[in-house]
Amino acid sequence: MRKVLLFLTITLGFGKYPDMKILIFGAGVIGITYAWQLQEAGHDVSLLVRPLRMVRYSHSGVSINYTDLRGPKKDEGQTVFRPKVIDKLMPSQAFDLIIVTVRSSQWHDAMPYIAKHSGNAHILFMGNIWSHPGFINKYLPRNRYFLGFPDMVAGGQTDNGINCFLFNNACTMLGEPEGKKTERLQKTVEIFKASGLQPDICRRMKDWLPTRYLVSAILPGLISKAGTTRLFAANSALVKQYLMALKEGLKVCRKRNIERVSLFPFNRFYLPSFILTRLIRRQFSPEMQSALDAHMKHGSAEKIKQYHDVLRTGKNFKVSMPYWASFEKYMDFS
């Protein structure tokens, strides 16, 4: 049914840009899921992978275990995604859009390669940003890149592919660094909408991304302390500590002149603690618990980096962060 709706969306004119040539730079959970959904909607998508993965994906494809919550009923299943794969990026490939989905801790290593080999493609950086996105300007002019965050997708890697969750109550956030509504932004919104990727334009991505970073940075420590996401969500005391740590992180953001954004739970801090605690616990549905537990098994270096990014910045600004600092010993995932 969803494929029929996507076909009608493109055919009836809502998807105005079906011929854009797209590269996904980063073959993790996010990259593979977005490549899969874009290809399912009929777009010309390639996936950049390491040489060893290129051989495997070319012959066997990518095994995807999915839980799709976007429809009226939960859809669970398994499929084999057979992407177009390349192991080198060259200007002659003439991609229109390159979506970078590598871990944020890998951006600095990937940036020189992207700048040298991306031709005239527009670059969408999808992921966590704590430092000002202006650091990208060292490698790319401002008119070459914009920003996003895959809030609607989560999961983990498996031996043969990925285990992904697609959530209905979340979006793919998209925005320009300067907050403008550009043609490339509108094109990407149309393409993502036609692919079921639930885009939402944020005019203040420079404020939204570091605020969202706080959640990504502290949640692994809490889950690690509890043992599982379910145990964390069931523990009111831990949820309250989570809220206190986020409030400390928000003070750090204020010191960095990051303005308030409408992002849960930061936009509900005015509520009494017991009410906000209940709202937080309701966020962690069984599917979200499974997605976060799968996510916890990979990317420990990035999780540790994110946690220390915030803690280090707080120390530099002399912000007291006792709750945040108390989870440092739980950030050892070895």
Dihedrals phi, psi of 12, to nearest 5 degrees:
-85, 0
Is the same domain home to 33 and 136? yes
| Res 15 pLDDT > 50 | no
pLDDT band at residue 3 using 50, 70 and 90 as cut-offs: very low
The enclosing domain of 277 has a CATH number of: 1.10.1040
> Alpha-carbon distance 123 to 182, whole Å?
14
Whether pTM > 0.75 for this model: the answer is yes
By the 10 Å C-beta count (0-12 exposed, 13-18 middle, 19+ buried), 19 is classed as: exposed
| Same-domain status, 65 and 179 | yes
Q: At 20, is the pLDDT very low, low, confident or very high (cuts 50, 70, 90)?
A: confident
Cα 121–124–130 angle (5° rounding)?
Answer: 140
E strands in 84-127: 84-86, 97-100, 122-126
Each residue of 176-228: pLDDT tens digit?
Answer: 999 999 999 999 999 999 999 999 999 999 999 999 999 999 999 999 999 99
Number of domains in the chain: 2
Residue 27 has pLDDT above 50, yes or no: yes
- C-beta of residue 116 within 8 angstroms of C-beta of residue 88: no
Supply the pLDDT for residue 59: 85
Q: How far apart are CA 30 and CA 123, in angstroms?
A: 16
CATH number of domain containing 54: 3.40.50.720
Domain boundary among 137, 168, 203: 203
Residue 325, pLDDT score: 98
- Overall average pLDDT of the 13-29 stretch: 76
Do 274 and 302 share a domain, yes or no? yes
CA torsion angle for 123, 126, 129, 134 (degrees, to 10)? 10
How is 158-200 classified by DSSP, letter by letter?
-SSEEEEEE-TT--EEEE-TT----HHHHHHHHHHHHTT--EE
Confidence of residue 160 (pLDDT cuts 50, 70, 90): confident
Is the pLDDT at 1 greater than 50? The verdict is: no
Peptide bond into 286 cis (omega under 30): no
Residue written as tokens 């040539």? 21
Edge-first strand order for the sheet with 62-68 is 75-81, 62-68, 161-166, 153-157
Do 83 and 195 have their domain in common? yes
What share of the chain in percent tops pLDDT 70? 94
Q: Say if residue 333's pLDDT is above 80.
A: no
Dump pLDDT digits (tens) for 229-252.
999 999 999 999 999 999 999 999
Q: Which pLDDT score, from 0 to 100, does residue 133 have?
A: 77
List beta partners, residue 44.
21
- Domain carrying residue 250: 207-331
Q: Of the candidates 151, 175, 203, which is a domain's last residue? A: 203
Neighbour-count burial of 143, counting CB atoms closer than 10 A to its CB (0-12 exposed, 13-18 middle, 19+ buried)? exposed
pLDDT tops 50 at residue 43: yes
Q: Does the pLDDT of residue 12 top 80, yes or no?
A: no
- 163 and 222 fall within a common domain: no
Mean pLDDT of 73-80: 96
User: How much is the pLDDT for 135?
Assistant: 84
pLDDT value for 334: 61
- Over the chain, what is the mean pLDDT? 91
Give the end of a domain, one of 178, 203, 228.
203
Q: Which of 230, 156, 153, 231 is nearest to 195 (CA)?
A: 153
Q: Are residues 54 and 9 in the same domain?
A: yes
pLDDT in tens, 295-321: 998 888 899 999 999 999 999 999 999
The verdict on 164 and 152 lying in the same domain is yes
- The predicted pLDDT at position 299 comes to 80
Residue of 201, 199, 195 whose CA lies nearest to 44: 195
Instruction: Read off the pLDDT band of 126 (50, 70, 90).
Output: very high
